[in-house]
Amino acid sequence: MMEAHVDETYAEGSISGGVNQLGVDHYNRLINELIRNGIEPFVTIYHFDLPQVLQEKYGGLMHQMFLGIGSPSMSQMLLHNMATSLGLPHQEGARFHKDIVHWDLHLDVWCPSVPVTLVVEQNGEIGIVLATKYFKPYSKSQEDRAAAKRLFMGPLVFGKYPQSMRELVKERLPTFSAEEKSLVKGNLGFAGINYYTSSSYRESELFLPTIHGPKKKSGNHWPEGLQKLMKYKKGRYGNRRNDRLPLDGQLKDPDRISYIARHLYLLNKAMKNGANVKGYFCWALFDDFEWDNYKRYPKQSAKWFRDFNDNNYCSAAPTLELNIHRADFPVDFFIGVGTSAAQTEGAVEEEGRSPSEDIQLVKELGVNSYRFSISWSRILPSIEPFVTIYHFDLPQVLQEKYGGLMNHMKDFSDYAELCFKLFGDRVRHWFTINEPNVLAQYGYEIGIAPPGRCSLPQGRCGLGSPPRCMVPVGPCNFGGNSSTEPYIAAHHIILAHATAVKLYKERYQVEQNGEIGIVLATKYFKPYSNSQEDQAAAKRLFMGPLVFGKYPQSMKELVKERLPTFSAEEKSLVKGNLGFVGLNYYESVHAKYRPPPPAENLSYSFDSWAEEKDMKDVPGVSENHWPQGLQKLMNYVKNEYRSPQIYISENGYGNPRNDRLPLDEQAKDPNRISYIARHLYWLNKAMKNGANVKGYFCWALFDDFEWGIGLSQQVGLYYVDFDDNYKRYPKQSAKWFRDFNHNSAAISRST
């Protein structure tokens, strides 16, 4: 259910965006439960889960801002949050548990950034995790011996890259400044070694080790390589998943038992020979990419590992390697299991996901430690906010004070600037006004939306064309002129948008590193025929003035003196101040030439000399839903309006609401899934053809109040039970959309 909310959390992936308290609470509960069960937490700060927003913002690892160089809002502050704020019980309920003393990082450049005072105050330790093998020289030649010397640790021990590396990579290898050398040298901390296999190397080639006898390798698994590496390791046997096996067959894993036991045996030998190894973590606690409430079943290896930690395991195995016990290791040696957030957490209970039965599973294994990672995006969320400043909610007092949109609204620019000041440090994407063409038509031509002004005869079709008239006009009880006021309102909206864009660009854009644009409601208008008149009738989009600084010539010829004009100053203000454009697209229609009859009242809609016709003749089109129309619309905008940056700001499917259906039936919405998937497919094709599209927003998150049609239509990915405290329930489309965003759902190829 989508009931979780984020009070003061803003999606930037960095400290300036705020800390998600629900995420902090989740990890606090996890850590507290571990400690209550006598299990030592080992925490990875960054485990392959860079927030996408930071990748898009400055290139992620490719930019020095990731390190916090010259930027107090990046990793220096991140680490201060994820190793200071998360480590110190500074404020009640707002910090991570004080007893975390083992922190590891998956990126070496972060280690030097950790304040020394924290290590002292918290009595902890910090290090880095390196993926490695034991590289066995293929021969005794000098070249093969040099080829086998490959480990990532050098800079953090010696403060410089190896000489051999500098000679080979040359100018492609970055250099450390004198200050950076001093920062890096000696700041390795401890080293976590992820060890699975060994390989043989000779100059320019990779070979598998040639090993014979009782210790022969299998699939590069050579336990003696761990002893040779002389560092601690964590291991697992990576067999392939086969879901066709019955459950009892899935639980039989003697190879994994052999793998772990043999590696522990030779690790113990390395320690007896002086290797400074302090712990061993078996990867992984359970099969990875476990989402939601999937059941866990102990394999034979889990039972063996439990017996090993209880010192109960007595092997009758034919090799000495398999006869290894917990008592063979020091009392203060850490034996544990590990997982990472990105591979195992899922989204149960959203940001505040509760510790599951997994801690009980850890306890049952008899281990004294558990390695897990904190999800960067759970603590510093990376859901990017796109904010609409004005979405059909003009204050009534301004309507009464000066007629609202019928006057040039200085108040809008004041309101927009207040938003930039209050939220612009966290919001980087602004929509000024939602659907100005709808505001003008619905509010000032057909009178079905506030302020309800119109002058058309009552009963005439307002939306659609007979016989499919969706909404009749009016009633026009509040005055108005349907032939002039829509143009005046639209004119003032254009000026209001351009003024806000100019203000943002001049005062805020550079400092806040954001962008600004407008949202237009549109359809793809497919010419009804190849006639010149029908071709002209299909060219109907609200974008022209904001790109070219003037109304289209055809519009000036049709509307004549009823069309407002821009002064020279206004032309300069408007031209080029489109910003990006958000397009709300739901359907396509035929556009057919039709001049108004001589006796017809003049109006905004009829001035285009076009009528909309259903696309019944187009194969595969239902209810005017033609996904290919989205591709054609993108191509049209690209070619006609200088290829602006586009967001599909709304796209979705509505179906009649039927509260008599049971809940499980309410959740079934295959048509919505098909609609979204097909539109995404054609949008992707448009992008491959050069359309400058930067984002897609599915409308809507949950069933809502759809203006003139009220609650009669369901448009959401989540069903809302209006009779039971507005509870939200995920529909099938919500689950499909989640899988799509996790790359596990395919887009339909149907047209």
The more confident residue out of 661 and 212 is 661
Return the closest-CA partner of residue 320 out of 370, 274, 269, 270. Answer: 269
Q: State the Cα–Cα distance between residues 66 and 54, nearest whole angstrom.
A: 8
pLDDT at 633: 96
More confident site: 214 or 456: 456
Q: Give the CATH number of the domain where residue 384 resides.
A: 3.20.20.80
333 and 303 belong to one structural domain: no
Specify the pLDDT at position 613.
86
Whether residue 177 lies inside any domain: the answer is no
Using a 10 angstrom Cβ sphere, with 0-12 exposed, 13-18 middle and 19 or more buried, the burial of residue 413 is: buried
- Residues contacting 688, CB < 8 A, separation 6+: none
Are residues 248 and 393 both part of a single domain? no
| Averaged pLDDT for residues 468-492 | 89
Residue 496 sits in the same domain as residue 616: yes
Average pLDDT, the chain: 78
52 assigned to some structural domain: no
Residue 84 has pLDDT above 50, yes or no: no
- Catalytic option among 345, 435, 515, 612: 435
Picking from 670, 679, 669, 648, the residue whose alpha carbon sits closest to that of residue 750 is 679
Please check whether residues 270 and 415 belong to one and the same domain: no
Q: Is 251 exposed, middle or buried (0-12, 13-18, 19+ CB in 10 A)?
A: middle
Q: Lowest mean pLDDT: which of 108-122, 546-560, 601-615?
A: 108-122
Say yes or no: 552 and 678 in one domain.
Answer: yes
Closest of 3, 8, 735 to residue 346, by C-alpha:
735
pLDDT at 396 over 90: yes
**Is 682 within a domain?**
yes
Percent of the chain with pLDDT strictly greater than 70: 75
Q: Which position has the higher pLDDT, 383 or 714?
A: 714
Highest mean pLDDT among 27-36, 51-60, 159-168, 726-735: 726-735
Same domain, yes or no: 258 and 405: no
Alpha-carbon span 82 to 670, nearest angstrom: 42
- Provide the number of structural domains found in the chain: 2
Q: How confident is the model at residue 150 (pLDDT cuts 50, 70, 90)?
A: low
In a domain, 61, yes or no: no
Residues 552 and 701 placed together within one structural domain of the fold: yes
The yes-or-no verdict on residue 167 having pLDDT over 90 is no
85-94, 398-407, 576-585, 741-750: least confidently modelled range: 85-94
How far apart CA 676 and CA 648 sit, in angstroms, is 12
Q: Which of 194, 178, 182, 294 is nearest to 234 (CA)?
A: 194
Average pLDDT on 383-396 reads: 92
Range of the domain at 302: 244-315
Inform me whether the pLDDT recorded for 106 exceeds 70: no
**Does residue 146 form part of some domain?**
no
Q: Considering just the CA atoms, what is the radius of gyration of the chain in Å? A: 32
Residue 249 has a pLDDT of 74
Residues of the chain with pLDDT > 90, as a percent, come to: 32
pLDDT of residue 419: 97
Q: What are the helix (H) ranges across 396-468?
A: 396-402, 410-423, 436-444
**Crossing angle between the packed helical segments 485-507 and 436-444, to the nearest 10 degrees:** 150
Q: How far apart are CA 393 and CA 414, in angstroms?
A: 16
Q: Are residues 634 and 685 in the same domain?
A: yes
pLDDT beyond 50 at 580? yes
Better-predicted residue by pLDDT, 317 or 558: 558
Is 697 among the domain residues?
yes
- Give the type of residue at 629: G
Residues 502 and 371 in one domain: yes
712 located within any domain: yes
Distances (CA, A) of 415 to 411, 458, 503, 520, 659: 6, 36, 12, 20, 40
State how far Cα 527 lies from the chain centre: 38
Question: Do 334 and 258 share a structural domain?
Answer: no
- Quickly state the pLDDT bin for 403 (edges 50, 70, 90): very high
Which backbone phi and psi does 678 adopt, to 5 degrees? -70, -40
Instruction: Please check the confidence at residue 205 and state whether its pLDDT lies above 60.
Output: no
The verdict on residue 511 lying in a domain is yes
**Confidence (pLDDT) at 321:** 56
* Cα–Cα distance for residue pair 346/344, rounded to 1 Å: 6
Q: Is the predicted pLDDT of residue 675 greater than 90, yes or no?
A: yes
Average pLDDT of span 90-95 = 30
Residue 679 CA to residue 577 CA, distance in Å, equals 29
Does the active-site annotation cover 435?
A: yes
For 256, the token pair is 């994994």
The answer to whether 640 is a known catalytic residue is no
Give the relative orientation of helices 410-423 and 485-507 as an angle to the nearest 10 degrees. 40
Judge contact between 17 and 10, C-beta under 8 A.
yes
Residues 137 and 145 sit within 8 Å (Cβ to Cβ): yes
**What is the SS3 assignment for 548?**
helix
Higher pLDDT, 534 or 519: 519
The residue among 18 and 709 whose pLDDT is bigger is 709
Residue 568: is the preceding peptide bond cis (ω within 30°)?
no
Asked whether residue 292 falls in the same domain as residue 334, the answer is no
Q: How far are the Cα atoms of 48, 73, 380 from residue 11, in angstroms, in the given order?
A: 19, 14, 7
Q: Are residues 555 and 694 in the same domain?
A: yes
Name the pLDDT band for 464 (thresholds 50, 70, 90). Answer: low
